[in-house]
């Protein structure tokens, strides 16, 4: 649980970004806040992220106490990731980032991938 948070930060915002920052974590959290997800589901929902990154960020989020990893052994291995209480506590922050992101995406002319592909086994 130590991770690298045991430093001195210039301000609380810097700390928040240390946890949420980087290229992928907030994207993953944005998905996980919709509900628990398996490894493969996350991979499908964030296709541009390499598996290495996916695993690394999952471990990091777990270490920081934002997500919980539950495995269910069996023929087909399963690993389910859910937000912890602390992860849940980030909701308003993520929402604020989301709202502001939408706003300036328009202003700046940035493109956003796809709002929420939702899950579908077969298109038909």
Distance between CA atoms of 51 and 114, rounded to whole angstroms? 20
86 binds a copy of itself per the rule CB under 8 A: yes
Is residue 80 classed exposed, middle or buried when 0-12, 13-18 and 19+ CB atoms within 10 A define those classes?
middle
The region of 36-44, 53-61, 72-80, 92-100 touching a copy of itself under the rule CB under 8 A is: 92-100
CB closer to a copy of itself, 24 vs 81? 24
Q: Does 11 bind a copy of itself (CB under 8 A)?
A: yes
Question: What are the φ and ψ backbone dihedral angles of 47, each rounded to 5 degrees?
Answer: -65, -25
Tell me if 21 contacts a copy of itself by CB under 8 A: yes
Can residue 103 be called a binding residue for a copy of itself (CB under 8 A)?
yes
CB of 78 to DNA, least distance (A): 4
Give Cα separations from 89 to 29, 33, 66, 71, 86 (angstroms). 12, 11, 9, 24, 5
Task: Tell whether residue 20 is a contact of a copy of itself (CB under 8 A).
Answer: yes
CB of 38 to DNA, least distance (A): 4
């Amino acid at each position: 649980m130590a991770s690298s948070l045991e430093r001195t930060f210039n301000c609380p915002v810097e700390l928040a970004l240390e946890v949420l920052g980087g290229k992928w974590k907030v994207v993953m959290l944005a998905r996980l806040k919709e509900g628990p997800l398996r490894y493969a589901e996350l991979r499908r929902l964030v296709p541009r992220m390499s598996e290495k990154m996916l695993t690394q960020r999952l471990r990091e989020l777990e270490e920081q106490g934002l997500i919980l990893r539950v495995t269910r052994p069996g023929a087909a291995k399963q690993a389910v990731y859910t937000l912890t209480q602390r992860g849940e506590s980030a909701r308003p922050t993520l929402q604020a980032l989301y709202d502001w992101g939408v706003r300036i995406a328009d202003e700046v002319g940035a493109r956003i991938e796809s709002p929420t592909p939702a899950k579908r086994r077969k298109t038909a």
